[in-house]
Amino acid sequence: MSLETLSRAAIIARRCGTDAATALLNEGLLSEEAFYRALARRLGAPFLVGPLAICEGVPYARCLMSGAAPLAGCEGGETLVAAPRGAAVARLIAAADRLAEPPAITTPTVLKQALFARYGAAIAEDASETLGRLRPEWSCRPGPLAVDLALAGGVLALVVLLARLPTAAGFVLLLLVQGLMLALLTFRLAAAAIGAAEIVRADASEPRPVLLTDDALPTYTILVALYREAPVVPRLLGALRRLDYPAAKLDIKFLLEADDDETAAAFRATPLPARFEIVTVPEGMPRTKPRALNVALPIARGEHLVVYDAEDVISPEQLRLAATVFARAPASTACLQGRLVIDKQGDGWLPPLFAIEYAALFDVLGPALAAWRMPTPLGGTSTHFRTRILRKLHGWDAWNVTEDADLGLRMALAGYHVGDLPSATFEEALAHPRKWLRQRTRWMKGFLQTSFTHGRRPLDLYRRLGAAESLCVLALLPGTVVSALFYPFMLLGGLADLIIPAEDGDSLAIVKRAASTTVFLGGLAAMCLPGLVGCLRRGWFDLVPLVLLLPAYFLLGSLAAWLAVFELARHPHRWNKTEHGLARTSRTGALARRPSAAIRSASTAPPPSPLPAG
């Protein structure tokens, strides 16, 4: 290698507070195979390139993290094969003279492939069953049976029937139900009020913190689970290359299913530095995103970890900002939720309404829940974690089809909180109603799974969370599904109360009609006001008139809720795959962006000194 390249690696390592070997590999200055061949020559050890046979009975996760494993079938005793990373390279070289026989050397990629080939079945089982084995009360299996769903539906129908009876008991029950509904609406209305007040005060965005410099940043793991996503691979790689984060401190893992040859070929078409890693998920059930994430969790090298979707276009400063917020947040802040923004707002009538809904959720409701330290159903992407806590919670529930919402609730039950990360991640919206309906049905089904899972012991949940927090969970998870199920009937009833003149009656009838009208108008306000505030915060003034269409838009959500009930009974763990890469329009241009040649740093550190002559 040239002295200039070595000097560049040394300067990068000094600036980032890491070792030069990692800088060489992660920056793409040297190929993985060339580096480890050179290491083998330096140690006088054999370099192994072919398929390796690993011994039985070794802890595969520890072998992957330590970069060493015993080989099987070696005459004359056990032979160790090593693929050290980072500072372990220097330690191995320093210890070489004291070793009777140095270990054989291979690349981390070959070692990982050998361990996955040897222990694929065990890896798949651990990814699917660890949570249920260690914390069965947190696992969504066994889920509700059809009779459980019928019983829950019967109880709801009975409550509605009793509340409509013209008796004093029916009147009291109706008032209780309406009071509960108003309490559930309070979270959305209060969040909208706080957001509107911030806009009026013109301080909706707080001053940006001074971001951590390169040497103070921790290693960050990025997980992206993909299945049949070949069309979006170039855009995904471009977004990840633009991240303003030292390459030497990135651990990026693309999680592919074993039968996804098309996506694997798309990655093979582009030479990738060592910070990018392909992890082929062993075959197994269920075929879900959380199972793939669980496969990668034991081998994540970062102090922090973030999950992205294949179509995401991430703000370049997001990881550095997240590391800065984590460094200054209390230890109980286990997760940061980024702001998800629907960037595809053309292509028909559905994407703009989807964009308004997301603005309400991630620009209004999410920040308010974080400020109140309330349980927060996570968004599934741009979720940043402290890796240690995520492992302590045993990762994701592989059988829950909204693993993000479930994990947010489990964090609250364990005493942790979700913080707000004011950094945008741009996403597509599904323009076709049928595809939108499939995605929304999965979300509603997952909310039901999570509700039944953590509703098995309601008193225990209440004691762990508290009154306000339990009410928040009730509003955001089962309340979302139940309100969607009854929304068409409540909409018709509310409109009838407003349009049809009231007949002269007793005071009881007048109170019932006034209460019903109050709940109806409160529901419309909770539906529209957060979307309005979200549009104003984003500067989407052209979308403000479309906020009036949200009551019609949420009729689709009602249909999805009914489909979710039937699908939960028939196919509880089926994952309705969302197709990406279909956007023809992009409001900001982010979804059409290609990799750029240079990245402007958000760090306050000065740039590195120029290389010395020669």
Q: What is the pLDDT of residues 230-239, one digit of tens each?
A: 999 999 999 9
Please give the pLDDT value at position 597: 41
Q: Give the C-alpha separation, 583 to 311, whole Å.
A: 10
The secondary element (H helix, E strand) that includes residue 413 is: helix 403-413
Q: What is the pLDDT of residues 534-578, one digit of tens each?
A: 999 999 999 999 999 999 999 999 999 999 999 998 999 988 877
The region of weakest confidence among 242-251, 293-302, 481-490 is 481-490
Please give the pLDDT value at position 334: 98
Cα pseudo-dihedral 585, 591, 596, 599, rounded to 10? 130
Q: Whose CA is closest to 594, among 270, 357, 279?
A: 270
- At 17 the three-state DSSP class reads coil
As assigned by CATH, the class of the 31-134 domain is alpha beta
Q: Give the C-alpha separation, 384 to 418, whole Å.
A: 9
The alpha-carbon radius of gyration of the chain (Å, integer) is 27
Higher pLDDT, 6 or 607: 6
Residue 36 token pair? 């480890």
In the chain, the largest separation of any two C-alpha atoms, in whole Å, equals 101
Higher pLDDT, 493 or 299: 299
Q: What is the pLDDT of residues 147-197, one digit of tens each?
A: 777 888 888 888 777 777 777 777 777 778 888 888 889 999 999 999 999
Tell me the average pLDDT across 449-456: 94
Local structure of residue 571 (DSSP, 8 states)? -
Q: Give the burial string for 26-59 (b: 16+ CB within 10 Å, else e).
A: bbebbebeebbbebbeebebebbeeebebbeebe
Q: How confident is the model at residue 609 (pLDDT cuts 50, 70, 90)?
A: very low
Q: Give the C-alpha separation, 248 to 242, whole Å.
A: 14
Which alpha helices (DSSP H) does 455-506 contain, by range?
Answer: 458-465, 467-476, 478-499
pTM of this prediction? 0.91
Higher pLDDT, 390 or 199: 390
User: Is the preceding omega at residue 286 within 30 degrees of 0, hence cis?
Assistant: yes
Query: How far are the Cα atoms of 139, 200, 440 from residue 462, in angstroms, in the given order?
Result: 18, 36, 28
Mean pLDDT for the chain overall: 89
Please give the pLDDT value at position 168: 73
pLDDT surpassing 90 at residue 103? yes
pLDDT surpassing 60 at residue 463? yes
pLDDT surpassing 60 at residue 612? no
Angle at 270 between CA 269 and CA 271, to 5 degrees: 120
Share of the chain above pLDDT 90, in %: 71
pLDDT surpassing 60 at residue 584? no
Tell me the average pLDDT across 104-112: 95
Local structure of residue 512 (DSSP, 8 states)? H
- Beta-sheet strands, E only, within 258-327: 276-281, 304-308, 313-314
The region of weakest confidence among 66-75, 262-271, 477-486, 524-533 is 66-75
> Are 31-134 and 139-596 in the same CATH fold?
no
CATH hierarchy code of domain 139-596: 3.90.550.10
Angle at 88 between CA 87 and CA 94, to 5 degrees: 95
The secondary element (H helix, E strand) that includes residue 578 is: none
Q: What is the pLDDT of residues 392-414, one digit of tens each?
A: 999 999 999 999 999 999 999 99
Share of the chain above pLDDT 70, in %: 91
Enumerate the domain spans of the chain: 1-30, 31-134, 139-596
% helix / strand / coil in the chain, to the nearest 5? 55, 10, 35
Q: Whose CA is closest to 299, among 132, 127, 416, 135?
A: 127
Q: Whose CA is closest to 49, among 65, 62, 33, 25?
A: 33
Please give the pLDDT value at position 205: 53
